[in-house]
Amino acid sequence: MSEIINIAGYNKYSTVDWPEKIVSVAFLQGCPWKCNYCHNFTILEPCKKGGLPFEYILDHLEKRYGLLDGLVFSGGEPTMQKGLYQAAKKIKNIEYTVGLHTGGAYPENLAKVLPLIDWIGFDIKATPRLYKNITHNSSALDNAKKSINLVLNSNVDVQFRTTIDPTVMKPADIKELQKWTQNLGIKELVLQEVRDMGVNEQYKKELQNLQSQNLLTK
């Protein structure tokens, strides 16, 4: 069972990863994108073996039944892993709700697992013209748009959010982003301030340099 998904880490208790829910969070190994501000950049390599068996999570959840609201699959990019559907199904089988953090990098895999998901935290990275600047991946925008459409056409509860990367996005870009997402049919976009906790040292220095010049995006 430990080979179903590659788990890089596990947070037994969180009140911030699913709004108004108390959950556990499984951080899955691997992501095809290399976002500038990623605070989990140490788990982006998909071939690196995680150290936590899936049985451990199932055992923990069963022991905490009634105390937790659900499990969130985070990352990395959870939909990168083929075993996500099977893992989510096992979580549902023990009567837990399932949350998902995704940027929409794998729309085909997202479509498969979507019927098992109760809530999605969907990370929209930027305006279309700046997607590659943040993700460093040429297919990121197309896949994200396909995944956004999948989510909008489902009955799954979703929070669309964007972490504003001040090294790339300026105030005019934020307005462009809001207009674009509204045109897609997204009613609300949560804007999040970038954090320097856990980011790579080069990006942290860039943020500090902007801060010293009072150039951080407001």
Residue 73 β-bridge partners: 26, 100
Asked whether residue 2 is domain-assigned, the answer is no
What DSSP element (H or E) covers 192?
A: strand 189-193
Asked whether residue 36 is domain-assigned, the answer is yes
What DSSP element (H or E) covers 208?
A: helix 201-212
Handedness of CA 128, 131, 137, 143 (dihedral sign): negative
Which residue numbers in the chain have pLDDT < 50? 1-2, 218
Asked whether residue 218 is domain-assigned, the answer is no
Say which CATH number the domain at 142 has: 3.20.20.70
Q: Are 54 and 5 in contact (CB under 8 A)?
A: yes
CA atoms within 13 A on the CB side of 211: 10
pLDDT at 34: 95
pLDDT at 215: 52
pTM of the model: 0.93
Asked whether residue 80 is domain-assigned, the answer is yes
Q: Are 61 and 71 in contact (CB under 8 A)?
A: yes
pLDDT at 1: 41
Structural domain containing residue 171: 7-212
Domain count, the chain: 1
pLDDT at 5: 94
pLDDT at 196: 83
Phi, psi of 200 (to 5 degrees): -70, 160
Alpha helices in 14-65 (DSSP H): 54-63
Asked whether residue 217 is domain-assigned, the answer is no
Asked whether residue 63 is domain-assigned, the answer is yes
pLDDT at 2: 44
Asked whether residue 54 is domain-assigned, the answer is yes
Asked whether residue 186 is domain-assigned, the answer is yes
pLDDT at 216: 54
CB atoms within 10 A of CB 65: 10
- The separation between the first and the last C-alpha atoms of the chain, rounded to the nearest angstrom, is 46
Residue 90, classified by CB atoms within 10 Å of its CB into exposed (0-12), middle (13-18) or buried (19+), is: buried
